[in-house]
Each structure stands twice: as structure tokens, then as C-alpha cells.
Amino acid sequence: MGLASGLAGQEPAEEPDLEEVSRKLDNPLTTLWSLTFQENLSLLEGDSLQNTQAGNLFFFQPALPVPVGESLVLIARPVFPLVTSPVPQASDDGVESSHQTGLGDIQLFTAIGPSKVTGLVWGAGATFKFPTATDEVLGDGKWQAGPVAMLFHFNKEWSIGTLIQHWWSFAGDPERASTSQTDFQYVVRRQLPGAWSIGMGPTISIDWKAESGNKVTFPIGLGVTKTFRVGSTPIKTRLEPQYSIIRPDDVGTAWNFRLQFAPVIKSPFTGN
């Protein structure tokens, strides 16, 4: 049989449905491999700033889940942050701000749970922060660890759930303050035809060691998500403005404008 005849007899690879890809990527324990690039432009306000200042957080987050047995999936998802933060400085005219840019504290999120596309999905694991910041204003200077818990419900119309992480410091720079921090992400998204969705996924942050009035950041938001294909590669994009209805008095994020770009890559385990 000639080469042309052999190729003619082969079935073309089936491309994944984009609406299904979009739903799967809402699941922190999805079996899909992806590379997330997320840009967060923040407007900061507070008593320690003379006026509104801009800050920026850009992070790269590869998600490379590994199947465990027939029904579980394990994920170890690092987060590499590039941070630009205002630095308040006293001057003769009052308080002025410069900006410092560099690598922040790298995080590692790990969790295991059932590999399900629809229905109730849970997961549990551990989360870590490493003192990798290139400047003290960009990180905590501490080794940190703590638990992860997640609970979601997925169907063709809705993605609803929460992901909770907590960190305690256990080592690091002895001159830096100890830490106890909780991130509580809540997700409500409505799937729409054409691989669109609308909804929000902000993160409530609680710094248990901060003084009263500086502990909580509570954002709300509303954004749109679209999954499309470039060649054979599905790419999920999201634009989501967020506003903090509660924020620290000294320095806090008033507005955050989030732009996310997540191409799906081939997994050696699932063949996607």
C-alpha cells in the first residue's frame, strides 16, 4: 500500500469541543494541560499613599495534572509572579511613592481529587510559598505552608464553587514578621453558546496578623470569557474588572483589571 493510500485511510484526529474545553478549564482539577498567563493591573488607595497609585501583578501558571488510578487526578501548579509595587516614601511635601519591580514569592498549589467533568467535584491538598522575592517590598521573606480545600459543582450551564488556601510561616528571615494568611476564591460563571461565559472569580484575602482595618480585601467582579482555537490549539481568554468593597485602610486595591490568556497544550496522559 502506498503512502497516499495509507494516509487516506486514517481517521483525522477529533478536535475537542470548545464549550467543553471552557467548562473543563474552570475546574482546578481538570485533566487538561494548560499554560496560564495572567495580567492584573491594580489601582491602589490608602492612608499611606498621597494619591491613587498603580500596581501590577503578572504571573505565569502552568497546570500539568497527572492521573492517579482510574478516578483521581493530582495537580502541582506553581505560580511565578512578576510584581510592580508602589513604595511610600516620606518627603518635605508629604508622602510620595516610587515603584519597585521584580520577582515575588513563588507559590506551589497541590491538590488531589476525583477526575469529573460534571457534578460535585472536591479536592484537598497543600499549598506553599517560597521567599524568592527580589526585594523585601515584593514578598514576605518567609517559608510558608498550609492546607488547600476546594468544592465545586459543574454542569453545562454553571460553574459554581470555592477554592480555599491558607499559609502559616514556619521559617525565613527572623527580622520579618510571621504570617497567617487565607485566600478564599469564589467562582460563579454562566456558560453561554459559542464557548462564551460570563461571571466572576475574585479572591477574598485575609491577613490574620494585620492590625484592625487592614486585615481583609473583599473584591467583587464581573467578566467575560471566550475560548477559541488557533490552528488546533484551544485558547481560553478572560477579561474581568474587579472592585474591592472592603480593603485595607493603609494600602489596598480599589480596582483590579484582570486579563487572562490560557492555551491548552497536549498531555502525554490523556492525549488531548
pLDDT-above-90 percentage for the chain: 76
Please name the residue that has the C-alpha cell 480599589. Answer: 254
CATH of the domain at 174: 2.40.160.40
- For residue 235, give the H/E element and its range: strand 233-246
pLDDT in tens, 16-44: 689 889 888 999 999 999 999 999 999 99
- Whether residue 272 lies inside any domain: the answer is no
Q: What is the pLDDT of residue 95?
A: 53
Structure letter (DSSP) for residue 3? H
Structural domain containing residue 129: 15-265
Which residue from 123, 120, 114 is spatially nearest to 158, judged by alpha carbons?
Answer: 120
pLDDT in tens, 126-178: 999 999 999 999 999 999 999 999 999 999 899 999 999 999 999 999 999 99
Whether 14 shows a pLDDT value over 90: the answer reads no
- At position 256, the amino acid (one-letter code) is N
Burial class (CB in 10 A: 0-12, 13-18, 19+), 106: middle
For residue 3, name the pLDDT band (cuts at 50, 70, 90). Answer: very low
Whether 9 shows a pLDDT value over 70: the answer reads no
User: Pairing between strand 53-63 and 72-91?
Assistant: antiparallel
- Whether residue 50 lies inside any domain: the answer is yes
Q: What is the CA 132 to chain-centroid distance, rounded? A: 18
- Whether residue 10 lies inside any domain: the answer is no
Give Cα separations from 78 to 5, 59, 163 (angstroms).
46, 10, 16
- Whether residue 109 lies inside any domain: the answer is yes
